[in-house]
Amino acid sequence: MTTIRDPLWNNIRVDSVARELMDTPVFQRLRYVRQLGWAFLVYPGATHSRFEHALGAYNLARCSLDMLERSGQLQRVRPDEGSIVCAAALLHDVGHYPFSHALEEIGASHHEEVARSLVTEGPVAAVLESALGRDAPARVHDLIRGASASPLQRLISGSLDLDKIDYLKRDAMMCGVPYGEVDVDRLLDALIVVDDLSTGEPTVAVHEKGLAALESLLFAKYQMYRNVYWHHAVRSATAIYKRLVDDALAEGSLQAASLATFTDEGLLISLERNGSGHVRALLAHLRGRKLYKRILEVPAAELDESSLEWIATDRKRALRTEDEMAERLGLAPGELVLDFPAKEGMLGVDLPIVRRGGRVEHLTSEGLARAINLPKLSEQLYRSARWLRIFAVERREVDADALLAELGAA
């Protein structure tokens, strides 16, 4: 074992397989990919990387498996499943693009799919096959993309995954905000392996005693989205960045196939060297923190969201609408951007709950009797955190109702 000092979890003990995986170029790139994208322009401490977050997720996987082992919960789990789960926790973010999730919002492949070739081919696959067996790369990637039949799948992907616990606590600490508090010990102590109600196969569940800790996870996520991830200035920077990359791809100064190979700074340097004057002008706004201003801001709770979802889902339509609105306001293309962030299932809860008497129930959108209606509350919190915004290079007085009508008709 090697011990690595971590500001959140203190000492993280890393085994030989994890050390070899960490030494691959695929994993080392994560040192230079910020966990929170452009949030450091608002919260200066938010410069932590995907590398340290991945270590944190690995640490939580080891802790969870140790607790399940001590309580006799792993008797029906393959002996090597724990090692596969730890590798998946460590590697779950290797497919991430520069500056966090922003490029997935413009239609780039999801980072979990990008990870396929990075995990199942090359040096990472060689380490996994040598240490854990020839089928290990495929098993690890199935866990990462949430498609594994492993009883421990929910530890890696789902409403309870360990990734969430680490990033909520780590992001809050690095941003200096008090919103990411999660009762981790109680939640991990409440993990139990039961028979799935629909398949009869073993799966991870939460004992009823951990419901309060599960609520703490839900509220922490809501607070972090409302105050950090979807902070208006963070979203302004993100919207500029998305437009910048879109325009660079359109003019050919950037290739979509190469996006996941860049580090944060490597991408910016490439854009400075190869981008047009228009692209470099947009980049200068980010480099100099000259963020676009809000000219319209409306909470989702006051909107007919269904008529505006295209802003998040139809990128070509959104770009065309941005330029049409910019022209009418006397602005140049790229000087006005739309933002209506979407995160499907962001606060969703879908997992088995073991009642104190031993009965297993499934917590879904129907809620759970005699407990807080987490699913219904999740939807309300999501709409509270989500805002429609229009940003422009300079402040403009606009008719809000007219702009909303224009978007609804676009």
Q: What is the pLDDT of residues 157-172, one digit of tens each?
A: 987 889 999 999 999 9
| Bridging pattern class, strands 202-207 and 191-195 | antiparallel
In the predicted model, what is the mean pLDDT of residues 88-97?
Answer: 97
CA distances from 265 to 252, 268, 349, 404 (A): 19, 5, 36, 37
In the predicted model, what is the mean pLDDT of residues 339-352?
Answer: 82
73 contacts 354 by C-beta, under 8 angstroms: no
pTM of the model: 0.94
Distance (Å, whole) CA 216 – CA 183: 7
> What integer pLDDT is reported at residue 365 of this predicted model?
56
First to last CA, the chain: 58
**71 φ/ψ angles, rounded to the nearest 5 degrees:** -90, 10
Range list of H helices, 210-368? 211-224, 232-251, 264-274, 277-287, 310-313, 315-328
Q: How many CB atoms lie within 10 A of CB 153?
A: 19
The pLDDT mean for the chain works out to 93
Of the ranges 7-11, 121-125, 379-383, which one carries the lowest mean pLDDT score? Answer: 379-383
Q: What is the pLDDT of residues 213-233, one digit of tens each?
A: 988 888 899 999 999 999 999
**207 φ/ψ angles, rounded to the nearest 5 degrees:** -70, 150
> What integer pLDDT is reported at residue 274 of this predicted model?
97
> What integer pLDDT is reported at residue 376 of this predicted model?
67
> What integer pLDDT is reported at residue 375 of this predicted model?
60
User: What would the two tokens of residue 165 be?
Assistant: 């616990």
Q: What is the pLDDT of residues 246-281, one digit of tens each?
A: 999 999 999 999 999 999 999 999 999 999 999 999
Distance (Å, whole) CA 403 – CA 391: 12
Q: What is the pLDDT of residues 267-316, one digit of tens each?
A: 999 999 999 999 999 999 999 999 999 999 999 989 988 889 999 999 99
Q: What is the pLDDT of residues 40-58, one digit of tens each?
A: 999 999 999 999 999 999 9
> What integer pLDDT is reported at residue 325 of this predicted model?
95
Q: Which domains does the chain have, with CATH numbers?
A: 1-176 (1.10.3210.10)
The gap from C-alpha 337 to its chain's centroid, in whole angstroms, comes to 22
Of the ranges 78-87, 140-149, 336-345, which one carries the lowest mean pLDDT score? Answer: 336-345
The residues, any chain, with a CB within 8 Å of residue 253's CB and separated by 6 or more, are: 271, 274, 275, 276, 279
> What integer pLDDT is reported at residue 13 of this predicted model?
97
pLDDT at 102 over 60: yes
What percent of the chain stands above pLDDT 70?
Answer: 97
| Bridging pattern class, strands 293-299 and 336-339 | unpaired
Angle formed by the axes of helices 136-144 and 111-120, nearest 10°: 170
- In one-letter notation, the amino acid at residue 1 is M
Distance (Å, whole) CA 372 – CA 368: 7
30 contacts 114 by C-beta, under 8 angstroms: no
- Higher-confidence residue: 405 or 343? 405
Distance (Å, whole) CA 120 – CA 123: 9
Tokens 């966090």, located at residue: 100
> What integer pLDDT is reported at residue 158 of this predicted model?
83
404 contacts 368 by C-beta, under 8 angstroms: no
Of the ranges 60-74, 77-91, 273-287, 346-360, which one carries the lowest mean pLDDT score? Answer: 346-360
In the predicted model, what is the mean pLDDT of residues 175-195?
Answer: 93
E-state strands within 113-265: 191-195, 202-207
- Ramachandran area for residue 72 (φ above 0: left; ψ -120 to 50: alpha; else beta): left
Of the ranges 59-73, 120-134, 321-335, 379-393, which one carries the lowest mean pLDDT score? Answer: 379-393
Distance (Å, whole) CA 262 – CA 333: 26
Distance (Å, whole) CA 6 – CA 281: 38
In the predicted model, what is the mean pLDDT of residues 340-346?
Answer: 82
pLDDT at 384 over 60: yes
